[in-house]
């Protein structure tokens, strides 16, 4: 749990050090602003609402983490993108996109109204059929990125008193969203041909550059053990040998986190053996439980004790969840396999909810509840943040079990933010 006069101050300093020398707004009261107090829309059709238990909430429910309001607590469970090159600035087309998605016009207003736990920096969201080629303006230059992240952090501190997780996909090779202010890395497959020490130093250098831009979480490294040449992962993986992969994954995690950037393993429970692109269809891991444990599980198990985050893919593993549902919505694969069996205690993040297996799982409201019940802490890119947040707030008010799940997820989000207080420590030899 973050404390305003302790870890919070250190965390914010860590996030913004070298990113901006103009000062930052200090944390303020968590009393919701007039905008946030009226943030939840009331015109969601009944057919999109999720039925919850009718048991009355306890007379004195447990306090939300860090004294957050219910709306702020729910908000922490989402990581969104917003259109605009600055926290306060956006083109007319970007403002229209924000209004359509969030009901407000600028990134800073998204923070104030919906209190998200994090923001992901992207260029375009080609999974959004309404605006597949509209540039967000998020990543057009180093100075622009730094100003945007600084402005977003100021908005978050003024709203909740908590810093944001600010993430991007920066693996190396063909998955590098930021092209300015960072050294572009080769694909993970090429890095695997070097030593673990060299991998650590490569990601340490990347982490220092991301941190200077105000980015404090990287959705990397890719921990998939790739065994098919036809799949979507390819050279994003360190290779087909789970032991070699495990060593390289841990080296990359060490480098990023020694630089003060939270690493995120992906894609649990393993995307390397399927030919299906999970952006477009549910990918099925057709392995026995024993084969999966000897292959896909190995890199995740090796780095689970140290990795700040693990991203869950839209992947089915029938050998361990016979329902065939995507891991994103599978209590067996998330709470059972990842949390309990693997013993992972860090932050569990969904893959983008704009991807087709999530889009067909239900309405945005239903998807939010399903992901929460599966064990997802941080829901990435909800199709409709207003519908998703409203569904969780409504369930939080009527179902004590859902309230407990939301509070526990928010506590893990805040615990991840507390790790931002760690100062960079160069690994040996870097």
> Which of these is catalytic: 123, 245, 296, 351?
351
CB neighbours of 168 closer than 8 A, spacing ≥ 6?
120, 121, 122, 139, 177, 178, 210, 215, 217, 218, 219
115 is catalytic: no
Residue 91 CB-density burial (10 A; 0-12 exposed, 13-18 middle, 19+ buried): middle
For residues 298 and 177, what is the distance between their CA atoms, to the nearest angstrom?
28
For residues 209 and 202, what is the distance between their CA atoms, to the nearest angstrom?
11
Three-state DSSP at 357 gives helix
For residues 69 and 244, what is the distance between their CA atoms, to the nearest angstrom?
46
- Give, to the nearest 10 degrees, the angle between helix 107-114 and helix 92-102: 10
Q: For the chain, how far is it from start to end, CA to CA, in angstroms?
A: 32
Three-state DSSP at 166 gives strand
E-only strand ranges, 238-337:
262-268, 283-284, 309-312, 315-316
Query: Token match 């519908």: residue?
Result: 387
For residues 190 and 197, what is the distance between their CA atoms, to the nearest angstrom?
14
What CA–CA distances, in Å, run from 135 to 103, 183, 247, 276?
19, 22, 37, 27
267 is catalytic: no
For residues 234 and 174, what is the distance between their CA atoms, to the nearest angstrom?
10
Active site residues: 279, 351
């Amino acid at each position: 749990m973050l404390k305003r006069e302790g870890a919070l101050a250190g965390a914010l300093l860590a996030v913004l050090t070298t990113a901006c020398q103009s000062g930052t707004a200090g944390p303020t009261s968590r009393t919701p602003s007039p905008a946030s107090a009226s943030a939840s829309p009331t015109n969601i059709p009944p057919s999109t609402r999720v039925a919850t238990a009718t048991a009355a909430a306890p007379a004195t429910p447990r306090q939300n983490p860090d004294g957050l309001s219910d709306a702020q607590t729910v908000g922490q469970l989402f990581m969104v993108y917003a259109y605009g090159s600055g926290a306060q600035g956006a083109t007319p087309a970007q403002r229209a996109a924000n209004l359509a998605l969030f009901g407000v016009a600028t990134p800073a207003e998204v923070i104030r109204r919906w209190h998200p736990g994090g923001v992901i920096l992207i260029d375009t969201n080609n999974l959004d059929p309404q605006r597949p080629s509209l540039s967000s303006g998020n990543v057009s230059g180093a100075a622009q990125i730094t100003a945007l992240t600084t402005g977003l952090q100021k908005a978050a501190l003024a709203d909740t008193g908590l810093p944001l997780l600010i993430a991007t996909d920066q693996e190396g090779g063909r998955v590098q969203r930021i092209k300015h202010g960072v050294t572009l890395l080769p694909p993970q497959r090429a890095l695997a041909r070097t030593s673990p020490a060299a991998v650590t130093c490569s990601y340490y250098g990347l982490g220092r550059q991301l941190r200077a831009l105000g980015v404090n979480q990287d959705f990397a490294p890719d921990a998939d053990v790739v065994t098919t040449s036809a799949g979507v992962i390819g050279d994003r993986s360190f290779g087909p040998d789970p032991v070699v992969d495990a060593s390289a994954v841990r080296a990359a995690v060490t480098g990023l986190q020694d630089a003060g950037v939270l690493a995120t393993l992906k894609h649990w429970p393993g995307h390397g053996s399927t030919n299906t692109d999970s952006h477009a269809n549910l990918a099925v891991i057709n392995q026995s439980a024993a084969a999966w444990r000897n292959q896909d599980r190995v890199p995740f198990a090796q780095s689970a004790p140290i990795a700040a985050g693990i991203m869950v893919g839209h992947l089915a593993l029938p050998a361990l969840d016979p329902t065939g549902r995507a891991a994103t919505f599978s209590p067996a694969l998330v709470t059972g396999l990842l949390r309990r069996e693997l013993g992972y205690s860090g932050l569990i993040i969904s893959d983008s909810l704009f991807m087709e297996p999530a889009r067909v799982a239900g309405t945005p409201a239903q998807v939010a509840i399903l992901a929460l019940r599966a064990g997802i802490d941080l829901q990435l890119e909800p199709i409709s943040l207003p519908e998703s947040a409203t569904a969780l707030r409504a369930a939080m008010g009527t179902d004590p079990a859902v309230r407990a799940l939301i509070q526990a997820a928010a506590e893990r989000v805040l615990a991840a933010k507390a790790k931002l207080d760690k100062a960079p420590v160069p690994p040996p030899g870097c």
